[in-house]
Amino acid sequence: MESFVYIEPAEEGLDSTAKQMVSYLSKISVDLRGPLRGICVGGHLEGKEGLLRGLVDELIVVDVPQECASNTEAIANVLTEIVGESSQRLLFLGHTYQGMELGPVIGWRLGIPVIANCIGFDWKDGGAVCTRPLQGGKLQVSLRVHLDHGAIVSVQKGAWKEETPQETSDSIPVKRVAWKDSWAPQKAEIIGITEETLEGEEDITKAEILVSVGRGLGDPDNLPLFRELAGSLGGMISCSRPVVDLGWLPASRQVGISGRTVSPVIYLALGISGQSNHLAGINPSVEIIAVNKDAAAPIFNEAKYGIVDDILEFIPELLDQIKKRKTS
Amino acid sequence: MRVAICCRGVPIDVPLESALVVQGDIQYKDTDFYINEIDAYALEAALYLKKTYQAETVALTVGPLRAQEVLYIAVAKGIDQVLRIDGETTRPELIASGLMKALREIRPDLVLVGVQSEDWMGGEVGGYLAQGLEMGLAFAVIELCELKENKFRVKKEIGGGKKAELTVKLPAVLCVQSGIQPLRYLSMMKRQKARNTPIKMYGKLEVEDIRGNIPGMMAYQAERVSVPVKEGRAEMITGDRSEKAAKLLELIKGTI
């Protein structure tokens, strides 16, 4: 067996999901996982290799022309060839947009199972048992995976804990792989990358308190209630994806995998079910207080405090009490 | 231009006892199927293509009889043709293989698929289709920009509030994200009328044949469905509404 972890480019240097994956895998016996190799396509870890010290046995750095660095088709070509050189291989990817696109493509090419959105991976009886969510996280399924030829596993952010690299003076062996023209994309071409601008909106990444609304908002006419709450608490309003899809709040207010990653002191999740795509945008140290009328909502598995109630009836009560406290 | 839309019928709020493991697969007992929400956005994207480029549209689903509801919605919205492949599975490689057989005959220029289904939450089907049909692929497409010289220019989300603009050669699979087009209201009358439409059947999902074609990909089985138990489950604040609000304010006051 050989294990590989694909390290996505990240502004913070080392992508947090990649760090969580190598942290978990580094503690698994070599007899089970085999050598553990990080794969970096491009130079985004240049000078930061030490962040992986003690966590991987080798770092493979693939040179890539600038125009292909963010082209998923090119990255899939690279990973298929490198990982495919081994006859029994495990490729771990983050369950991000890029990981979701890469996993099935590489798995189909190599003819090995793809286990997406994994939250647990235990070696057992020569194979593995993977746990993954179902039904928005209200249920989960255990899958028995045969590893005769390996598997592709995409791991949900936060499923495993990050470890601090070992204090060691050893450097990480780095294997440099030159770009091959055969990896060039044939079907897709990236024209450019843009970032959502704030356009006069507040920057939710700087808020100490976020009053975050989800589908439970029900109607955009209810928004003033939540804006008032945010104002009363000295916070800002943010939201989950459906609220943006419905055009009720701009994309700059969205928290999650496709929106912003936030680190307030308090994250008040109101009428938010707590799907993993949303939770991926909240730093793990944040204190989440959730209000949802569904007692089985997955958000209560992640929140520190929870209240089962209808937000449209609970928030007016909360605002009343805030007003009374301010006047008394 | 021909556009195929792959839709899925999904159960919502399934109790544990209704999610059954059957021969390593998951099937849902005594549940109605609704259109997977992101696939409803894919239908809207197809209708945009129909209006803008006079595209011929066909919607497909792999599912049992009760999943036919998603095709009635497609008809009611204005999709030209619909067809169902009979079979009940949650396994993405089986769904993709069933769709592929039909898509090879339909020969679409574009295949639209929602990025993921609400029940399985994996997002694999689009990638499998692109590989199996040797098509281009764009994942998490949020905007259809322009068709020019056999290439489609689209914008896709790449996370962290960023978007990539790219061109994809046709034929291509576009895994569309929610919000790509506004969801339009569908009247009950239109839905009822659509139920009179005969649904074309495209055979049965031949699981053993597919297993023979992609044995390595099927090297896993579902063993058990359960309710997640988290050590860190929230401390629940109880009492009447007034008490809960007071306790919440104390918590906020104590933290800030």
* DSSP helix/strand/coil, A42: coil
* pLDDT 10s digits, B188-223: 999 999 999 999 999 999 999 999 999 999 999 999
- The residue with tokens 């994994």 is A118
pLDDT of residue B255: 65
Q: Can you give the pLDDT of all 328 residues of chain A as single tens digits?
A: 999 999 999 877 788 899 999 999 999 999 999 999 999 999 999 988 888 988 999 999 999 999 999 999 999 999 999 999 999 999 999 999 999 999 999 999 999 999 999 999 999 988 999 999 999 999 999 999 999 999 999 999 989 988 776 666 678 899 999 999 999 999 999 999 998 777 778 899 999 999 999 999 999 999 999 999 999 999 999 999 999 999 999 999 999 988 899 999 999 999 999 988 899 899 877 899 999 999 989 999 889 999 999 999 999 999 999 999 888 7
- Quote the tokens at residue B134: 């040797």
In whole angstroms, give the CA distance from residue B131 to residue A73. 11
Phi, psi of B9 (to 5 degrees): -90, 130
Say whether residue A47 is in contact with chain B using an 8 A CB cutoff: no
Q: What amino acid occupies position B98?
A: G
* Residue A110 distance to chain B (closest CA, Å): 8
B53 pLDDT more than 80: yes
> Please, are residues B85 and B204 in contact by the beta-carbon 8 Å criterion?
yes
Say whether residue B164 is in contact with chain A using an 8 A CB cutoff: yes
Q: Which of B124, B162, B233 sits opposite A114 (nearest CB)?
A: B124
- Quote the tokens at residue B161: 């509030």
Q: Is the pTM of this model over 0.90?
A: yes
Please tell me what DSSP assigns to residue A289: E
pLDDT of residue A171: 82
pLDDT of residue B161: 85
* Banded pLDDT at B256 (limits 50, 70, 90): low
In whole angstroms, give the CA distance from residue B130 to residue B111. 9
pLDDT of residue A129: 98
* pLDDT 10s digits, A35-88: 999 999 999 999 888 889 889 999 999 999 999 999 999 999 999 999 999 999
In the sheet that holds A188-195, the strands lie side by side as A188-195, B162-169, B151-159, B136-148, B172-176, B110-114, B2-7, B56-63, B81-86, B200-204
CB contact under 8 A, A306 and B237: yes
R_g of chain B computed on alpha carbons: 21
Across residues B124-141, what is the average pLDDT? Answer: 98
CB contact under 8 A, B139 and A101: yes
Total Cβ atoms within 10 A of residue A225? 17
In whole angstroms, give the CA distance from residue B99 to residue B236. 45
CB contact under 8 A, A100 and B123: yes
Exposed e or buried b per residue across B199-230, where buried means at least 16 C-beta atoms within 10 angstroms of its C-beta: eeebeebbbeebeeebebbbbbebeebeebee
Q: Element (H or E) spanning B79, and its range?
A: none
pLDDT of residue A167: 64
Question: Over chain B, what is the mean pLDDT?
Answer: 95
Give burial (CB, 10 Å; 0-12/13-18/19+) of A267: buried
In the sheet that holds A58-62, the strands lie side by side as A114-118, A150-155, A89-94, A2-6, A36-41, A58-62, A174-177
- Quote the tokens at residue B129: 């289709």
Q: Element (H or E) spanning A38, and its range?
A: strand A36-41
In whole angstroms, give the CA distance from residue A287 to residue A210. 11
* DSSP helix/strand/coil, A198: coil
* pLDDT 10s digits, B84-132: 999 999 999 999 999 999 999 999 999 999 999 999 999 999 999 999 9
pLDDT of residue A166: 65
Torsion of CA A248, A249, A254, A260, to 10 degrees: 160
Among A144, A90, A79, A142, which Cα is nearest to A112's? A90
B231 pLDDT more than 90: no
Say whether residue B166 is in contact with chain A using an 8 A CB cutoff: yes
- The residue with tokens 């599912």 is B63
pLDDT of residue B175: 98
- Quote the tokens at residue A240: 């989950």
* Residue A234 distance to chain B (closest CA, Å): 10
SS3 string, B150-206, reads CEEEEEEEEECCEEEEEEEECCEEEEECCCCCCCCCCCHHHHHHHCCCCCEEEEECC
Total Cβ atoms within 10 A of residue B68? 20
Say whether residue B254 is in contact with chain A using an 8 A CB cutoff: no
CB contact under 8 A, A114 and B217: yes
* Banded pLDDT at B64 (limits 50, 70, 90): very high
What is the 3-state composition of chain A as percent helix, strand, coil, each rounded to the nearest 5? 35, 30, 40
pLDDT of residue A200: 79
CB contact under 8 A, B136 and A188: yes
Q: Which of B19, B138, B159 sits opposite A134 (nearest CB)?
A: B19
* Banded pLDDT at B12 (limits 50, 70, 90): confident
* DSSP helix/strand/coil, A248: coil
> Please, are residues A57 and A173 in contact by the beta-carbon 8 Å criterion?
yes
Say whether residue B14 is in contact with chain A using an 8 A CB cutoff: yes
Say whether residue B214 is in contact with chain A using an 8 A CB cutoff: yes
Share of chain B above pLDDT 70, in %: 98
pLDDT of residue A328: 78
In whole angstroms, give the CA distance from residue A293 to residue A271. 7
In whole angstroms, give the CA distance from residue A237 to residue A225. 11
* Residue B198 distance to chain A (closest CA, Å): 31
Total Cβ atoms within 10 A of residue A169? 5
